[in-house]
Chain A
Amino acid sequence: MTVLPKPLAPHQPSSRSAHVRTRLVVTVLLVLAALVAIYLLGSGDVQVSPGNAIRAVFGAGDPADVLAVQQWRLPRVLSALLVGAMLGVAGAIFQSLTRNPLGSPDIIGFNTGAYTGALVVLLVTGSSAPLGVTAGALLGGLGTAVAVYLLAYRQGVQGFRLIIVGIALSAMLTAANSWLILKAELPQAIGAAQWGAGSLNDATWGSTLGVCVAAAVLLAPCLWATRPLRQLELGDDLAAALGLRVEPARRALLVLGVLLTAVSAASYGPIAFVALAAPQLARRLTSASGAGLGAAAAMGALVLLASDGLAQRLVTGGTLPAGVVTVCVGGLYLVWLLFREARRT
């Protein structure tokens, strides 16, 4: 026997109780991310206790602690959290639009395109100024997105076409990237390859402030995005019959997802698999249907922060890019996903 809080209500309104579970999952994920963040702020060459680390964030305590926490570690932690959140949301948007867990921006070529843009700046112009690389990556990512959209366009864009075209374009760009690297001088090639793995090693307050601004600008419209995304999951005809302007809504969502991906890749390189895995992991935890942007953001933040923490500690000297760890985590997830799908059919 279960005790109902209100005997009058035979069912809890599921639209509300589903929200309760989602909120709980988001809260737990955020608490976990905060704990990992505090641990990462405190550990390293200068060990700081968790309490002192929190105090140091606000500039209080031992000046050496404040220097290590505020100047060395905080930008990196903040960047990981925000970029992870942006990637999680971008993945959720694309997977929902394409109705396919493989329809995430890192699979359909946007990351590869951003890498191409960065490589052109790094190797062809020979400049390694961060601003130039960022601009190159941004243009490369956006350009690829536009190309995929146009090539996949046939009276509106259908999910599966987008994925196939994206994978094809991604393969071509990968070949171009390899060629660019092979042609380069060794030191430049190493630097370029490092960038291509996606690393937070170079996080500074300069780059972090850029990420903060981008996250504020791009994550705010995501509050609007959830409802249209949910309606689009019902199919174009039903979504339209329920009063959604389908093509404008889809285009706005695509632009939002592309910008989130491109900004992330431009900041710290194409960090793979967070956009693929975070929304799916979040969905399994919330057991909600469809896109949960909040849960995907929280999961993305936690995954990238933990991956970056692992990357720093797995190899002493801290040169392992976070992207390598996310590829391993995401790869394991992908294997599991394929295994599960194969068993089901």
Chain B
Amino acid sequence: MTTAHSAAGTGPGQPADRLRAEQVSLGYAAADVITELSLRIPDDRFTVIVGPNACGKSTLLRALARLLPARGGSILLDGKDIHSLPAKQVARVLGLLPQTSTAPEGIRVRELVARGRYPYQRLWSSWTDADEAAVAEAMAATEITELADRLVEELSGGQRQRVWIALVLAQQTPLVLLDEPTTFLDVGHQYALLNLCRDLQRRHGRTVVAVLHDLNQACRYADHLVVMDAGRIVAEGAPATVITPELVERTFELPCRVVPDPVTGSPMVVPELK
């Protein structure tokens, strides 16, 4: 798997990497969380963002998804400032699953997934066969077709997370952003979900960006790994070239060794004894 991102999949004259941050500054209220950060999200790859708590990774993801205005610089989607594009148009290109989402009380799985079709609906338009097909396809890809008529609140955490991913898939966007999708899942469901994310990229041709907490999971699944610390990108590239004991110690204050993962050969972080 090569990580040097090529221009494959982009037309002539169109710049590679549909989603980019250029010199972007972000923050809430008084404080800037991120200053002058630049990042290119490689097309047709699985990009993982890691970093210690409060390093600004969720802030960056929200900004990439147009949820947060930039205080300086800009987020570019297909070369245009993302805030200059209409909200619904962006939502047909780029989908985001936030860290926590609340399902309305009494909603059934299929109905919740169907809400992902909002960007395609107009004031007077009714539910179309294309909408129906997109919802069915999203549920099939996340293996929740059997749950279609169940109440969302009755599902297990792992099943529920699949429903949320299906909602984002029903949006049919070439770019999918996931904010800590594995939080609250047991380890088995975490890997099931990461396999699903990889499938989205490999089999369904989506560009996937996820914020993850677990370094070893990040190294195993990422084509492109972005390490953030204190609002800055401290390293990015293929996990094998990025992850070193020095970097992990500096960023996470965790003395460790890095050994090859016995299953995949990707770097594996093993903490030292204190």
Contact flag A227-B121 (CB < 8 Å), given A235-B102, A237-B96, A241-B65: yes
The answer to whether A245 and B87 have CB atoms under 8 Å apart is yes
Q: Does A244 lie at the interface of the complex (its beta carbon under 8 Å from any beta carbon of B)?
A: yes
Q: Does B157 lie at the interface of the complex (its beta carbon under 8 Å from any beta carbon of A)?
A: no
Inter-chain contacts of B102 with A (CB < 8 A): 99, 233-235
Q: Which of B105-113, B210-218, B240-248, B260-268 contacts A (4 or more CB under 8 A)?
A: B105-113
The answer to whether B67 and A15 have CB atoms under 8 Å apart is no
Q: Does B123 lie at the interface of the complex (its beta carbon under 8 Å from any beta carbon of A)?
A: yes
The answer to whether B107 and A237 have CB atoms under 8 Å apart is no
- Name the distance in Å between A63's Cβ and chain B's nearest Cβ: 46
In this complex, the member of A15, A99, A224, A245 whose beta carbon has the largest number of chain B beta carbons within 10 angstroms is A15
- Name the distance in Å between B14's Cβ and chain A's nearest Cβ: 23
The answer to whether A243 and B127 have CB atoms under 8 Å apart is no
Inter-chain contacts of A15 with B (CB < 8 A): 110-111, 114, 127
Choose among B90, B98, B108 the residue that contacts A243 (Cβ–Cβ < 8 A).
Answer: B90
Interface size in chain B (residues, C-beta < 8 A)? 39
Q: Mark A210-254, 1 if CB is under 8 A from B, else 0.
A: 000000000000001001001101110110111111000000000
Q: Does A283 lie at the interface of the complex (its beta carbon under 8 Å from any beta carbon of B)?
A: yes
Inter-chain contacts of A125 with B (CB < 8 A): none
Within 8 A of B (CB), among A99-141: 99
Inter-chain contacts of B118 with A (CB < 8 A): 227, 231, 242-244
- Name the distance in Å between A225's Cβ and chain B's nearest Cβ: 11
Q: Which residue of B lies closest to A13 (CB)?
A: B132
Band of interface residues on A: 20 to 34
The answer to whether B97 and A243 have CB atoms under 8 Å apart is no
In this complex, the member of A13, A224, A242, A287 whose beta carbon has the largest number of chain B beta carbons within 10 angstroms is A242
Contact flag A243-B92 (CB < 8 Å), given A15-B114, A16-B127, A227-B118: yes
The answer to whether B121 and A238 have CB atoms under 8 Å apart is no
Within 8 A of A (CB), among B93-137: 94-98, 100-108, 110-111, 114-116, 118-119, 121, 123, 127, 132
- Name the distance in Å between A116's Cβ and chain B's nearest Cβ: 34
Q: Does A184 lie at the interface of the complex (its beta carbon under 8 Å from any beta carbon of B)?
A: no
Q: Does B149 lie at the interface of the complex (its beta carbon under 8 Å from any beta carbon of A)?
A: yes
Binding site for A on B (CB under 8 A): 62, 65-67, 87-92, 94-98, 100-108, 110-111, 114-116, 118-119, 121, 123, 127, 132, 148-149, 167, 171
7 smallest CB-CB distances across A and B, nearest first, come from A243-B91, A289-B107, A243-B88, A237-B98, A241-B96, A289-B106, A243-B119
